[in-house]
Chains A and B, each alone.
Chain A
Amino acid sequence: MRSLPLYVLVLWGCSFLVQLVVLVLLLRDGNFRKLPFFTMYTAFNICQVGFLAIVYQINGMSPLTTETLAWVSEDITLVAQALAATEILRIVLKPYQGIWGLSWRLLAGTSSLVIVLVARSTHATWAWAKWFDLNHGYHLTFATALLACLILARYYSIPVPTAYKIILIGFCFYSCTELLINSIFRAVFYNKVPGHQGLWQFSTIFSFVVVLFLWVVALRKPLPVENRQLALTSDAAYQRLSPEINDHLRLLNEKLLRLWKLEARSN
């Protein structure tokens, strides 16, 4: 703790205060009932700050133990983050049962693909920096899965309440900036620039503070009550109409192709 530069400590303090504000806003208008996992995630983050402050204060603890404890606490908050994001996606997409079912499959597919990619590209350096790469892999999986769901919502013109949208975008933005900052620092500054550790910590905390401010904006008003009850059609209607439309669209494409070929021949 004492080894951290003053500007990092100041920013860390700011981050702690804004996290408290977010928690208060969640507890205030009963928002925590709508978003229990997000509230838990915020509480975990605050606890992590306290935990790290204690860990860094303990004299005589080996750097390896300190680092391992810090990464373990980080992993716990990351699990809470995944639960919080899934909770919001569920609230937004649940009324659209069919799309929610599709989202689940998309989430599983995207996540598996990214995990395989990450495992393949990092297995050679696995023993060297496992925590670091695990963290990277998680953030990449999380950001792509979240983005896939947001794209799906946009593709189907599903209205996402602004507050939820800001929270989800905050999550995605944080994961991306974390990835970018970590990768750039590791490639460019690591062991090359004096004081790079402090600069790295400042950058990551700063990106998180930006996200926290976004969440304060999102939570300044009570969260919308999601009681949309869509008059969903029967499965039979979709089973009947969807293949029919696809067949027609396919035929239309074939016609276009024939038109193209005939036109090309006539020229």
Chain B
Amino acid sequence: MNPPILLFTGSAAVVLILLAWLLRGPRKIAQRGADPFAEEEFERRHVTYFPQVLRALAGEDLEYLACRGTRGLTRRVRKERRTIVLAYLAFLRMDFLKLWRMARVIAVMSSKVGAAQELERFRLGLVFYVRYELIRFKFQFGFAPIPELGSLSDFVSSLALRLDIAMRELSERAALASRLTSSLDGRHLNTP
């Protein structure tokens, strides 16, 4: 097969596969992207569980259990706490995804979108995903240092809070704009 034919055949096959992927599971996508600002969802941030996670990461309990010589129990507690930390990491990921999706909604609502900003965000999402998976894998073998995890959690929470305020501000503006439009419609003042 000569190079042009290879290029055309390969590209057409890739495009067809991507097309099939696009057709797959639109409902799931629609549900996920339905309302990233749902109050209940937003309230349930990982910060709620932070004291428990800190407790799970504290070494004193494990040291105490080890001193008492109950090795089986120590192992079990360590295993259970590792599970908790992994769940916490998953919540962290959820927070990241929420912010990421929120940024996309802001882009959709905007009248002008910067290609560089959007590409950068897409790249950041990919990088986060890879790093998260690596760290999660690493956690299977031991706990992460507590101060690092704590600052990470604080960081995500403060950003979410600030975005929450910014989004409310945007919604109020949008509602005001829509009210203005409907009142103008009512008076037949719309220009063609």
| Partner among B3, B115, B120, B156 whose Cβ is within 8 Å of the Cβ of A252 | B156
> What is the number of contacts between chain A and chain B, taking CB atoms within 8 Å?
220
Which residues of B1-23 have CB atoms within 8 Å of chain A's CB atoms? 1-5, 7-9, 11-13, 15-16, 18-19, 22-23
B151, A255: Cβ atoms under 8 Å? yes
A144/B155 contact (C-beta < 8 A), A125-B2, A229-B181, A237-B170 known: no
CA A245 – CA B8 in complex, angstroms? Answer: 40
B106, A169: Cβ atoms under 8 Å? no
Chain A, residue nearest B118 (CB): A102
B4, A133: Cβ atoms under 8 Å? yes
Chain B, residue nearest A257 (CB): B131
Which B residues touch A184, using CB under 8 A? 9
Which B residues touch A260, using CB under 8 A? 131, 134-135, 138
A252, B155: Cβ atoms under 8 Å? yes
The secondary structure that dominates the A interface is helix
Q: Does B100 contact A (CB under 8 A)?
A: yes
Q: Does B173 contact A (CB under 8 A)?
A: yes
| Partner among B3, B12, B112 whose Cβ is within 8 Å of the Cβ of A235 | B112
Shortest Cβ gap from B5 to chain A (Å): 5
Q: Does A258 contact B (CB under 8 A)?
A: yes
B107, A99: Cβ atoms under 8 Å? yes
Which A residues touch B131, using CB under 8 A? 253, 256-257, 260
**Chain B 104-117 per-residue mask, 1 if CB under 8 angstroms from chain A, else 0:** 10111111111101
Which B residues touch A102, using CB under 8 A? 113, 115, 118
Range, interface on chain B: 35 or more
Which A residues touch B124, using CB under 8 A? 246, 249-250, 253
Q: Does B121 contact A (CB under 8 A)?
A: yes
Shortest Cβ gap from A245 to chain B (Å): 4
**Chain B 87-99 per-residue mask, 1 if CB under 8 angstroms from chain A, else 0:** 0000000001001
| Partner among B5, B100, B175 whose Cβ is within 8 Å of the Cβ of A187 | B5
Q: Does A151 contact B (CB under 8 A)?
A: yes
Which B residues touch A98, using CB under 8 A? 107-113
Q: Does A76 contact B (CB under 8 A)?
A: no
Can you report 16 A-B residue pairs in the complex whose CB atoms are below 8 A from each other? A98-B109, A106-B115, A157-B32, A180-B9, A182-B8, A233-B106, A237-B173, A238-B112, A242-B103, A242-B106, A245-B121, A245-B159, A252-B96, A253-B124, A256-B132, A262-B144
**A173-B19, A263-B135 known; 15 other A-B pairs, CB under 8 Å?**
A98-B109, A121-B3, A125-B4, A150-B19, A156-B108, A183-B8, A233-B110, A242-B103, A246-B120, A249-B124, A252-B96, A252-B152, A252-B159, A257-B131, A263-B138
Shortest beta-carbon contacts, A-B, top 10? A157-B33, A98-B113, A238-B110, A179-B12, A231-B174, A183-B9, A98-B110, A256-B131, A245-B103, A249-B124
